[in-house]
Chain A
Amino acid sequence: MPSLGADMDEGTLVEWLKQPGDRIHKGDILAVVETQKGAIEIEVFSDGVFRDCLASPGDRVPVGEVIAILDSGKASAAPTGKAALAVPVADAKALQEPLARGRKVTPAARRLAQESGMDISRVVPDGTGVVGLQQVRAHAAITGPPAVPTGRIDLKEMRKAIAAAMARSKREIPHYYVSSDIDVTALMDWLAEENAARSVADRLLYAVPLFCILARTLLETSELNGQYEAGEFSPSQSVHAGIAIAMRGGGLIAPAIRDVAGKGLDELRVSLTDLVGRVRSGRLRSSELSGATVTFSNLGERTADTLMPIIYPPQVAIIGCGQIAPRPWVKDGEVHIRQIMSITVAGDHRVSDGRSAARFLSRLEKRLAKPEVS
């Protein structure tokens, strides 16, 4: 059971998406695990063969316990006996769950199944292999109420997870805060012009160029980008940015987009849309929950001016962006009305000082003044 963040101590196996005996490839989704952050897709890190599963749907498993045996084919002492043993197991499973392969489960169906405590892997899909609400309801009508209810997405649980992570942060990380009001008129003007030339579907939220510029500026301030573990800071060569996304009804989650600085605007737009969509439908991937090297928390339109964010361990910085609002602003000795955003860096004193954050903000201000050459 992988750890999907500093605040996770156990997970509930929802379903296997591969069966023992299947060939697996790096990036394949092996299983779905229910956590305090919703249903998470567990990815495979190397090619090989899925030998055996040691947990069943509905099992609550502590972090670190073995749930599956994967054979990368590298170990010379590949247990042939074990492999041979795995074959009949696979056959038995296949008989019990003949329809578990190549199925697609809609998020709504998954939620309904979870809420009614149903094992989704036993629901018969329609002719095209899709398990939808109709199939779940039909299954419920046949089988009646289940004997063992399993977990469901629970905002109270998520609140506990947030509390645990933030309490650890405040306990362990000596925070400092450095903030600047930055004129983003040039960015907003550039964006309005850019969006006027784009079709509806391709328009950019200001968060897209903003995150892009934040990430590129962070590459020059390595002491704010990385992870601090076991008393040691490891700076990162790429910016894997956790994006704080609020859940409807309360709660917050900050899954990571990898290598934000290396992405073009449209690539980042697509990643961000995809990520928010999967947060809303409760389907994140394991690598998105543990790989972040920094977090961006953008309050967005019609919210508030300033936020003082709390670092998510094991990261060492978080950048908070307030709403953009028109303000009186002195430029070239005169007062103008400009679009202003307050940006705050929370840094970790075990790794850096306020001076690093101040340097970052001053570089950021220069880049934001010329967004077209970002």
Chain B
Amino acid sequence: MNDLELSDLVKRVLFDVAPDLEGEPVDPKIPFREQFEFDSMDFLNFIIGLHQASGAQIPEADYPQLASLDDCVSYLKARHL
């Protein structure tokens, strides 16, 4: 997948776990927690969604590397997705 496809995948997961945000513009650099008032539950659901949509195994220790849209794209890209 190229960057744009990965970015679309991440956004789709984001809107799936937070349907109330559907259609909101996403700033790729700002962490979801700050940008969308994500709490722990939102974030965990997001990780689960990311795992299901990409097939990536995401250990708990990697969670800090998935804070923003850009972070997620880099992380998935590094895993050749």
- Which residues in A have some Cβ–Cβ distance to B below 8 Å? 107-108, 192, 195-196, 200-201, 203, 205, 207, 246, 248-249, 272-273, 276-277, 280-282, 300-302
Question: Nearest B residue to A281 by beta-carbon distance?
Answer: B19
In the complex, what distance in Å separates the CA atom of A167 from the CA atom of B81? 53
Which chain B residue shows the least CB distance to A196? B60
B45 at the interface (CB under 8 A from A): yes
Q: Do A246 and B37 have beta carbons less than 8 Å apart?
A: yes
Number of A-B pairs, beta carbon distance below 8 Å: 48
Give chain B nearest CB distance to A257 CB in angstroms: 13
In whole angstroms, how far apart are the Cα atoms of A277 and B20 in the complex? 10
The answer on a CB contact under 8 Å between A300 and B40 is: yes
Chain B minimum-CB-distance residue to A249: B37
Contact of B40 (CB < 8 Å), options: A200, A281, A301:
A301
Instruction: Give every chain A residue within 8 A of B47 (Cβ-Cβ).
Output: 200
Q: Is the interface of A mostly helix, strand, loop or mixed?
A: helix
Closest B residue to A277 using CB positions: B45
**Among all A-B residue pairs, the 3 with the closest Cβ atoms:** A200-B51, A276-B41, A201-B48
Q: Which residues of B contact A281 (CB under 8 A)?
A: 19-20
A276, closest chain B residue (CB): B41
Q: List 27 A-B contacts (CB under 8 A).
A: A108-B19, A108-B22, A195-B60, A196-B60, A200-B51, A200-B57, A201-B48, A201-B52, A203-B60, A205-B40, A246-B37, A248-B20, A248-B21, A248-B36, A249-B37, A273-B41, A273-B45, A276-B41, A276-B42, A277-B45, A280-B19, A280-B42, A281-B20, A282-B20, A300-B40, A301-B40, A302-B33
Within 8 A of A (CB), among B37-58: 37, 39-42, 44-45, 47-48, 51-52, 57-58
Check if B18 is an interface residue, CB within 8 A of chain A. Answer: yes
Contacts A205-B40, A205-B41 given; does A200 touch B48 at CB 8 Å? yes
